């Protein structure tokens, strides 16, 4: 990505100089249940279906009672600038697209950068939950150490793969603004587990599609190979890929985020169309 001399977002809240004091750990229901629970948390630890506890080993125990000040490393400074510039691209692009597509002005989310642990409107979170969006406070949360983890453990490296993660969380904010998350929650509450999982897949694939729409408008930013990085990341987070990677039988009834092919397909639909109205996974005849 060509981000040099690009503006940074003013909607970044950098908490990384404070380590610890992040509050209680998310309950199993909140961190592993769904993105549209009563207090919906899109947790990429569950999103990716992998154990992120090595992040905790790298950073030490995060759940201290009192925050401790520290200096950021050069790598953390670079990751923070990158995240801020990527967020700014989402703000500029959706500020242009949103009124045309939905007839309203776009209200962007804030991005909270944290290290080890933090407290959100959806409860306490730590590095092992991965990036997530909290509808209760309309903020996305990111431990920037996750970027290195993506490359090392998931084989999903590259700056555009990391940018895709941020764009995906912003996409969940758009779903929240449009009332999609609340409606999905209402339906899921009255549905069977199988149907609930199906709705989760639709939510995630729509977010992938919105991410593709964002990517389609990155004039002067994309470099050769960037789209391949995003599609590779989409493959590595498919439910079928992750179940097979974990040595488990692939069970479509348990999918909550979509297959590798579905994730790639809906990102591509968004990218090729450039139109968020093409991302209606709920009305699609085929996911």
- Interior/surface letters 193-205, b for 16+ CB within 10 angstroms, e for the rest: eeebbbbbbbbbb
Q: For residue 20, what pLDDT is reported? A: 52
Q: For residue 125, what pLDDT is reported? A: 78
Sign of the dihedral through C-alpha 24, 86, 235, 240: positive
Q: For residue 203, what pLDDT is reported? A: 95
Q: Across residues 187-191, what is the average pLDDT?
A: 93
In this predicted structure, the answer to whether residue 275 has a pLDDT above a threshold of 90 is: yes
In this predicted structure, the answer to whether residue 184 has a pLDDT above a threshold of 80 is: yes
Contact 1, 163 (CB under 8 A): yes
Q: For residue 30, what pLDDT is reported? A: 32
Domain regions of the chain by residue span: 12-279
What does pLDDT average to over the chain?
A: 84
Give residue-wise pLDDT tens across range 235-274: 998 988 888 888 888 988 889 899 999 999 999 999 999 9
Q: In Å, how far are 105, 166, 209, 215, 255 from 44, measured between CA atoms?
A: 28, 11, 17, 20, 15
Determine phi and psi for 51, rounding to 5 degrees.
Answer: -80, 120
In this predicted structure, the answer to whether residue 197 has a pLDDT above a threshold of 60 is: yes
Neighbours of 262 (CB within 10 A): 22
In this predicted structure, the answer to whether residue 159 has a pLDDT above a threshold of 90 is: yes
Contact 112, 129 (CB under 8 A): no
Position with higher pLDDT, 225 vs 51: 225
Q: Band of the pLDDT at 124, cuts 50, 70, 90?
A: confident
Give residue-wise pLDDT tens across range 24-80: 333 332 333 333 332 333 333 444 434 444 444 444 444 444 556 788 889 899 999
Q: Which residues pair with 14 in a beta bridge?
A: 113
């Amino acid at each position: 990505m060509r981000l040099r001399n690009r503006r940074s977002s003013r909607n970044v809240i950098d908490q990384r100089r404070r380590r610890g004091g992040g509050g209680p750990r998310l309950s199993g229901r909140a961190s592993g249940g769904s993105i549209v629970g009563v207090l919906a948390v899109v947790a990429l630890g569950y999103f990716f279906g992998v154990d992120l506890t090595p992040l905790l080993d790298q950073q030490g125990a995060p759940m201290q009672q009192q925050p401790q000040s520290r200096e950021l490393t050069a790598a953390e400074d670079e990751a923070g600038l990158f995240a801020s510039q990527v967020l700014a691209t989402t703000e500029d692009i959706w500020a242009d697209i949103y009124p045309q597509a939905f007839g309203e002005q776009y209200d962007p989310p804030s991005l909270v950068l944290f290290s080890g642990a933090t407290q959100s409107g959806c409860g306490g979170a730590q590095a092992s939950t991965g990036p997530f969006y909290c509808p209760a406070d309309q903020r996305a949360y990111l431990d920037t150490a996750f970027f290195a983890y993506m490359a090392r453990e998931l084989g999903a490296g590259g700056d555009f793969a990391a940018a895709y993660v941020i764009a995906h969380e912003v996409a969940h904010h758009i779903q929240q603004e449009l009332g999609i998350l609340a409606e999905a929650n209402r339906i899921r509450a009255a549905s069977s587990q199988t149907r609930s999982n199906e709705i989760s897949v639709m939510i995630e694939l729509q977010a992938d599609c919105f991410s593709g729409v964002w990517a389609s408008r990155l004039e002067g930013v994309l470099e050769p190979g960037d789209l391949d990085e995003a599609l590779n990341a989409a493959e590595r987070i498919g439910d079928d890929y992750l179940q097979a990677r974990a040595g488990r039988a692939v069970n479509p009834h348990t999918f909550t985020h979509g297959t590798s092919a579905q994730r790639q397909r809906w990102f591509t639909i968004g990218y090729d169309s450039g139109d968020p109205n093409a991302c209606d996974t709920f009305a699609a005849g085929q996911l």
